[in-house]
Amino acid sequence: MASVLAIASVLAALPALTMGAAITPRGSDIVGGTTAALGEFPYIVSLSTGGSHFCGGVLIDSRTVVTAGHCTIDQRASSVKVRAGTLTWASGGTQVGVSSLTLHPSYTVDSQGVPDNDVGVWHLATAIPTSSTIGYATLPASGSDPAAGTTLTVAGWGTTSENSNSLPSTLRKVSVPVVARATCDNDYDGEISNNMFCAAVAAGGKDSCSGDSGGPIVDPSGTLVGVVPWGQGCAERGFPGVYTRLGNYVSFINSNRG
């Protein structure tokens, strides 16, 4: 679920790849998923500019959102909004402004358009307290790495198919197993770094997609283990969704909390 706005420059250089959980701008919907229940992902937020959703994010305390770096790099704090506590990105819940955006200092995009250290931290201008529909995500242990075969759940408002240009209005979710890093690296011709992990069903058909970028992927205990960065297409067989491995960024995130 990446935003076309956030990754337009990257996509121009890499037509075959797209940002989000599978090199496609991950959007506001999930391929092969189902509608989420209100409060099921109390920490997910919609990031918008000009009234349009462009990425997801994750609330980790009352003033801090974690998202993808490519959702951060081309944005201005004064131009973006964060909405929490609702199933619909366009209305409801609580919407606040942003005071500052921090991109990981080692964020890079290679010659193939693939980002690494793809994480950013946003400070909110107004605190968002917990409620019946709002909560804060738990970060993983520093250095942790989701084990191959573990079933994870990703949520977002990204497109429901690779060729769709419209975002679903209601939050969706899908469960996918972790793919061994070596297998995924082979699928992507050596593009998978130790800062990434992959997840997909072998047959394809389930994935995050455009508009989902920056949104959460959680383990069975509900711990936030990653955010959506990129992938090849959406739910394509043989091309798992790729996620930022947050276990490598716990220190960076904690040192930049609001």
Q: Which residues are catalytic?
A: 70, 118, 213
Burial of 50 (0-12, 13-18, 19+ CB in 10 A): exposed
The 3-state DSSP composition of the chain as helix, strand, coil percent (nearest 5) reads 10, 35, 50
DSSP letter for 170, please. B
The pair of structure tokens assigned to 37 is 């229940």
Q: Which residue shows structure tokens 């909004």?
A: 81
φ/ψ (deg, to 5) at 212? -85, -15
Q: Which of 92, 116, 87 is nearest to 28 (CA)?
A: 87
Q: How far is CA 113 from the centre of its chain?
A: 17
Distance, CA of 38 to chain centre: 19
Our measurement of the distance from residue 90's CA atom to the centroid of its chain's CA atoms, rounded to an integer in Å, reads 18
